Structure 1
Amino acid sequence: MEIHQLAFLQSDAVHPLITEAFLGKDMPPSEVTMEAVQHRPGAGATGIYRVTAHEDLYVGVTTEHVHDRAEGILRSDSERGKLVLWQHPMDPMLPGLQLATDPSSVTSTWGEGYELTALQTVSYRPLRRAVIAADFADGRRLYLKVLREGHAGELAARHRMLLGADVPAPAPVRDPIRDVVALEQGRGISLAEHFLADGAAAVRPAEFVELLDALPAAVMGLPTRDAWTDRLSAYASAAVSAVPQCERRVRRLEEEVLAGVPVTDRGPLVPTHGDFYEANLLMDGNKISCLLDVDSLGPGYRVDDLACFLGHLAVLPAVDSRYLHAPAAFDRFARVFAAGVDPESLRIRTAAVALSLVAGARDVRGGEWRAKAEHRLRCAEVLLGLTRSAGDLPHWPAVL
């Protein structure tokens, strides 16, 4: 049913519902363009649309359940079931988004007397979270993380926990306000830039293992989060919805992973980051300078953190063809990472992460994303030995 809902949200059939809800029946027809789509198997699908009227407005439409006390929403019936609609930034599950996207409010709340010079949305996952970059005239850049109700305090506490253990992480500038955590800008450049330049040739893979070793014991008191393989069936379903012509291949990968996971060693429960990959690691020269996005910090398994890192590294050429050095970097990092965990467990879980990234290639504004999604699928197949490697696809080191 969700696949049909997703198709409906991506069709023109939803456009009249949007214009009627926000412009009224008597207004002239307006142009509606889908800007993004998000599918969460088991929860529903969400689309973001730009409506061109007298001035552009952005509208969210979701098939997900939204609680009745949410403000600023409209409800509508459609051929694919009930819909919830809202006008950005009045996201019904992110009450702080209005604060974080309003220049005058950002200036008065976090400006410390300085003028706001830029305000930009870095990322937005409807109904889940948003990150807004705010630049001020004194040279500061803050990242405003907008979370669901009740989660901001938990995130700020995670950052303080890491800083207290001398693990480099962005510092909260003050207590959260309306479920918005304001964080200082981390020092350094993304590890992805090193992979792009030369495959991070001068960076020690062991340093990333050492960083995980430095996570404080207090992390074990946080809630446990499912890892990638724990949610594999949902990710496989999302991949099928993105590239339905590849369903047989996706299901074979799913079966291979589910068969292999129980017969490999996951290792002991330890402190984990939960989303450990190049985009969440900043480097100062060849040294790690900051660990980002610690929302999933908690008890878990080292092999899952390392598989997350390798799975994202494996698909980098499927994200951008300029990552020419990614396969060589993958080989070097995989050899080091496999020394501390069960290599077969790491290989299977790395393939599972690559599979989980297939649906993330979906981009409603361009037609090339399907090729990128299939490229990510081939990465997972190569890692599991289901197809032969090519020059731009990493393979598992034979000696492991």
Structure 2
Amino acid sequence: MAIDHAAAPLLTGPRAGEILATALATTEVELESWKVDSVNARPGAETSVGYDVVAGGERLYLVASTVELSDEQRAAAKAVRLASDEGEVHVWRHPADPHLPGLADACIPETLAPRLSAATGRSITIESLDMMVMRPMRRAVLRVRTVAEDGRRNWYVKVVRPERAEAMLARHRMCELAPLALDAGDGIVVVQEAHGIPMTRALHRPDGSDPAAIDPQMLLAAMDRLPDEATALERRPPVPDRVAQYARMAVTEGLPEERVEALERRITAVLAAAPEHPTVATHGDLHAANIYLDDAMAPTRVEALIDLDTLGPGRRIDDCACMVAHMMVLPQLDAEGYRGVPPVAARMLEAFGDQFGIDELRARVSANILSLVAGSEDASVAAAWLETAESVIEPVPAS
């Protein structure tokens, strides 16, 4: 039996060094130093931790996970199995991965370039390759700058479990706002950089000027362009439906239990009294980073939507709540650059609230912010976001 979600303290504390040293000793390599780089803990599933390591005079990246692996998966990733009275841990060296067979090729320009050439039908050379997201056994996203006979181009290389690649490709094919996506094999999906300007650039103003005016109707019009056939896809529960899970995670991460539970109860009570909503096509993770506009200064339309992995049936109000929630937390990420965003978010909250009901929308926005609280690795940011989540659902009356 693998160790459960509570394994995070073990894999991030002092004893993690012993685990890494023992795993490396199986190849007669001595651990010199280590530090935690990332933690991926999933309630009810495995906990995986990535480490920057120096061993045998070489810099390595190791992953330790409580995942259960078959003999075949262990062999494919060259993973070391360590067992004790506390449970079982597997350790392997990145870019090997027991569930992402395409990751090793995707991380090396010399092996990725032939795959890109075959997928695009062009002779491609790679200028640069950067890792953007790495979640062991789940997904990785890399940004690649390429050169071909038709010029330079940016692509995003998404590595998923091979059995999930076709679903990702199908979502891109059915959505008119999605950028071109191609199959490069072994769970590697290459997505061309979207046309337009990221909405985050329209909101970010490091020079202190006002952000662009974002018309909520422009965003609703883009939601209307999501494909009807997406309603036949597998339904994934939206964040507000999992608010109890995120509340537990927030408490586990050290947020005040009394406040988190009180917030959860308030959200649950509002949503229990909410009316039924029609099932429509939804993006599932709609926020400024996933929206491309026609202009950064005076946008008039949405040019593209990216990260369509979650496209499927749902409630329109949940896309709206996700949008507002992510806007509300931007100032904690860059207080100066995003200082003009709160009024934009407030106008969006009001407009969406007029259409769907302001009390329910506030509850769903609060639930989305709580999910971000649960996933934050910065204690001060998490505390600020918790306060934001509380204030959204219980706004201060106007004086």
TM-score (norm 1): 0.89
Alpha-carbon spacing, 1:68–1:229, altered in 2? closer, same or farther (3 Å): farther
Alpha-carbon spacing, 1:3–1:248, altered in 2? closer, same or farther (3 Å): farther
Give how far 1:28 is off: 3.9
Deviations 1:19-77, CA, capped at 9 Å, x for gaps? 22124485444101110111211113211001112221111111234455322222112
Deviations 1:69-125, CA, capped at 9 Å, x for gaps? 322222112464211221101121211111211211111111432321111111112
Give how far 1:243 is off: 2.2
Alpha-carbon spacing, 1:337–1:88, altered in 2? closer, same or farther (3 Å): same
Question: What is the distance in 2 between the residues matched to 1:26 and 1:321?
Answer: 48
Q: What residue number does 1:319 align with?
A: 333
Question: What is the distance in 2 between the residues matched to 1:248 and 1:68?
Answer: 44
Please tell me whether the aligned partners of residues 24 and 30 of structure 2 are also in contact (alpha carbons under 8 angstroms). Answer: no
Unaligned runs of 5+ in 1: 363-368, 389-396
Question: What is the distance in 2 between the residues matched to 1:183 and 1:99?
Answer: 16
Question: What is the distance in 2 between the residues matched to 1:106 and 1:15?
Answer: 33
Question: What is the distance in 1 between the residues matched to 2:168 and 2:141?
Answer: 13
Q: What residue number does 2:143 align with?
A: 133
Please tell me whether the aligned partners of residues 24 and 31 of structure 2 are also in contact (alpha carbons under 8 angstroms). Answer: no
Note if 1:159 corresponds to 2:165. no
Note if 1:295 corresponds to 2:309. yes
Unaligned runs of 5+ in 2: none
After superposing on structure 2, the runs of 4+ consecutive aligned residues of structure 1 that deviate more than 3 Å are 1-4, 23-29, 64-69, 198-201
Alpha-carbon spacing, 1:19–1:249, altered in 2? closer, same or farther (3 Å): same
Give how far 1:241 is off: 1.9
Deviations 1:238-265, CA, capped at 9 Å, x for gaps? 1112224x12111111111112111012
Q: What residue number does 2:109 align with?
A: 103
Question: What is the distance in 1 between the residues matched to 2:279 and 2:30?
Answer: 60
| Matching residue within 362, 382, 386 for 1:373 | 382
Please tell me whether the aligned partners of residues 42 and 234 of structure 1 are also in contact (alpha carbons under 8 angstroms). Answer: no
Give how far 1:379 is off: 0.7
Task: With a CA cutoff of 8 Å and minimum separation of 6, indicate the structure with the bigger relative contact order.
Answer: 1
Q: What residue number does 1:35 align with?
A: 37
AA matched with 2:266:
E
Alpha-carbon spacing, 1:296–1:4, altered in 2? closer, same or farther (3 Å): closer
| Matching residue within 335, 338, 352 for 2:353 | 338
Q: What residue number does 2:365 align with?
A: 350
Give how far 1:373 is off: 0.6
Question: What is the distance in 2 between the residues matched to 1:315 and 1:57?
Answer: 34
Q: How does 1:1-400 map to 2 (within 5 A)?
A: 2=4, 4-24=6-26, 27-53=29-55, 54-70=57-73, 71-72=76-77, 73-78=79-84, 80-111=86-117, 112-137=122-147, 138-163=151-176, 168-172=177-181, 174-197=182-205, 200-244=211-255, 246-285=256-295, 286=299, 287-322=301-336, 323-362=338-377, 369-385=378-394
Task: Please say which of residues 60-69 and 376-385 is displaced more in the overlay.
Answer: 60-69
Alpha-carbon spacing, 1:85–1:28, altered in 2? closer, same or farther (3 Å): closer
AA matched with 2:386:
L
AA matched with 1:277:
H
Question: What is the distance in 2 between the residues matched to 1:40 and 1:149?
Answer: 21
Identity across the alignment (%): 32
Give how far 1:266 is off: 4.3
Task: Please say which of residues 289-298 and 71-80 is displaced more in the overlay.
Answer: 71-80
CA RMSD, 1 decimal: 2.0
Please tell me whether the aligned partners of residues 238 and 318 of structure 2 are also in contact (alpha carbons under 8 angstroms). Answer: yes
Alpha-carbon spacing, 1:107–1:45, altered in 2? closer, same or farther (3 Å): same
For this pair of structures, how many residues does the alignment match? 377
Name the SS of the counterpart of 1:315 in structure 2: helix
